Structure 1
Amino acid sequence: MVEPLGPDADHRLWFPATQRNREPIAAVLKRWLPTRGYVLEIACGSGEHAVAFQREFPGIHWLASDPDPDHCASAEAWRSHVGFSHTMPAPIQLDVRSRPWSLPNPFEAGLDAVLAINLIHIAPWACCEALVAEAADRLNPGGPLVLYGPFRQGGAHTSESNAGFDLSLRSRCASWGVRDLESVQHLAGVCGFTATRVETMPANNLMVAFTR
């Protein structure tokens, strides 16, 4: 669900889910991310997460990206609205499947983390493949690829609501759907990631981190 903030809000969009999940996500990121470095957020949506996390992690340079120009405009409007125009990198338009990714310096030289929130179930599997492979190439040693969203585990949904959500996604697009955690772990292993951390989150979601 996406809602505009109104005519006085420039291009800012409001994602209600962001208001609910940003604090739990930030609490886990505080344990998983370095205190300093360069972080790329894939599919940033409205940009609300990006400005919230930039505030939470002042030592990190937080680069938001999204393939949708309206989302990029929203992320830029949020960056300006909170007064981060001179301290936070401008968001970039980026399709995760367009490899190699074109990143501004100094992000081009190496990333200390890559984050994707609610992406891989609302995108074709090819997006997950590209995300994991490119992150493996871009991340500095020890830097995590962090995913957030619903997952199947052991071949089954973890809740009835997730099962219903999966059916809804697949009815909208046959290539979408809640992914098997084990399939994503296998893909990560093929791409060179050697360790996995999994955290149970509210509303039947997981946070998963892959590192090398």
Structure 2
Amino acid sequence: MAEPPQPFVFEPGAGPQRRIAPHVARNAGPIIEVLRGVLPESGLVLEVASGTGEHALHFARAFPVLTFQPTDPDPLALSSIEAWRSEAPANLLPPLALDAASDDWPVGRADALLCINMVHISPWAATLGLLRGASRVLAAGAPLVLYGAYRRAGIPTAPSNEAFDESLKARNPEWGLRLLEDVVAEAEKAGFALERVVEMPVNNLTVVFRRG
């Protein structure tokens, strides 16, 4: 199987560091609508695996009272995030290097944590590390919000998601769609309760947890 295309492109004329992920234009609005009923009225929102930085830019514009801290382990992603900050309001902070699988995070506390499209595009160890880290930095009642494609027990997986899963595993055998029930079980071990699962466009889900 040929290697699937990268999930981002470089913006024409913007230099090599600013990336565009085409899916952001489609899903940023629906994600923001869910977040309006989830995020706190004020405080710091930590985004793990910010990727291109476009979601962080959309969120900072949509929630001007909140402060957003983008992070990513990839130096090229950090460069892209920083480049997009030139269009951002002051509530979008400079990006930080953060590996979700590590227990050494550069952020000690946050009032909410977002993670978009990481769980299926990373080894399972990254998801376990994300949950451990979230339990360290979030206080009781704070939200942990995951977004992406999942499998669910007893529910047929959409053909498009099956094809997506195959393409992910072709790129890296440790990647692939996770069973939502497995993620929920690990989140509960880390001290989180499942609040709700929201059906999103293109067979994605937003999964909201609360710190116990």
TM-score for both structures, normalised by structure 2: 0.92
Task: Give matches, 1:130-169, under 5 Å.
Answer: 130-154=129-153, 157-169=156-168
Name whichever of 33-42 and 199-208 sits farther off. 33-42
Deviations 1:146-204 (A, max 9, x none): 10001111165431111111111112211111000000000011111123310000000
Aligned partner of 1:47 in structure 2 is: 53
**Secondary structure in 2 aligned to 1:34?**
coil
TM-score for both structures, normalised by structure 1: 0.92
Task: Give matches, 1:48-87, under 5 Å.
Answer: 48-80=54-86, 82-84=87-89, 86-87=90-91
Cα drift, residue 6 of structure 1? 2.4
Q: Given that residues 57 and 88 in structure 2 are in contact (C-alpha distance below 8 angstroms), is that contact kept between their aligned partners in structure 1? A: no
CA–CA distance in 1 between the matches of 2:178 and 2:150? 5
Q: Unpaired runs of 5+ in structure 2?
A: 1-6
**Secondary structure in 2 aligned to 1:131?**
helix
Aligned partner of 2:94 in structure 1 is: 90
Identity, % of aligned pairs? Answer: 42
CA–CA distance in 2 between the matches of 1:207 and 1:6? 31
Deviations 1:102-122 (A, max 9, x none): 22xxxx2x2111111000101
Aligned partner of 1:180 in structure 2 is: 179
Aligned length: 205
CA–CA distance in 1 between the matches of 2:16 and 2:206? 32
Aligned partner of 2:19 in structure 1 is: 13
Q: Given that residues 199 and 208 in structure 1 are in contact (C-alpha distance below 8 angstroms), is that contact kept between their aligned partners in structure 2? A: yes
Runs of 4+ displaced beyond 2 Å:
6-11, 155-158
**Secondary structure in 2 aligned to 1:23?**
helix
Cα drift, residue 100 of structure 1? 2.7
Aligned partner of 1:116 in structure 2 is: 115
Q: Unpaired runs of 5+ in structure 1?
A: none
Aligned-residue CA RMSD in angstroms?
Answer: 1.4
